[in-house]
Structure 1
């Protein structure tokens, strides 16, 4: 049973809001198509040490990560991969 409806909306929304403190890094992530995808990527990245906020935009494929320090790209790539998606790389911060 999925939490996603047929139109791609998820019944739960766990997207953490961005915080003003810390750095912001934007990643391009492929394979996200619905609210469940958004929730999975948000949960995976939010669990990393130092991450204070995650905002996922499934329409653009951009994931904005707010953190206390510069995130470890290899670690972000690893947890996103384990969630079933792929980090295509960093995106320009103003692309979001």
Structure 2
């Protein structure tokens, strides 16, 4: 499990991974995920992706199906797909 558990913000998005400050040299990637319908879904996806080595922040938004991930280096899409699958949702791909 990620060091900081996920939490939902008032706008319904969820974040995990601690400090919201962006690291120098950090990579931000956005993915489309289907099946998320609520804050719990966002938290599940954020938590699983947050466990991938190098991930420092995750923001999932059920309404749009978009998941924004900040990491130290580009992520292997297969690892992101496996994390999303583990959460019970489907990764469409990177946008």
Per the normalisation by structure 2, the TM-score is 0.78
* Aligned match of 2:66: 62
Cα separation, partners in 2 of 1:18 and 1:27, compared to 1, 3 Å: farther
Unaligned runs of 5+ in 2: 1-6, 9-13
Given that 1:18 and 1:55 are in contact with CA atoms closer than 8 Å, whether structure 2 keeps it comes out as no
Larger Rg computed on CA atoms = 1
Cα separation, partners in 2 of 1:68 and 1:57, compared to 1, 3 Å: same
Cα separation, partners in 2 of 1:30 and 1:36, compared to 1, 3 Å: same
* Aligned match of 2:4: none
Please identify which structure carries the higher strand content.
Answer: 2
* Aligned match of 1:31: 35
* Aligned match of 1:9: none
Aligned length: 80
Cα separation, partners in 2 of 1:19 and 1:73, compared to 1, 3 Å: farther
Per the normalisation by structure 1, the TM-score is 0.77
* Structure 1 outlier segments of 4+, above 3 Å: none
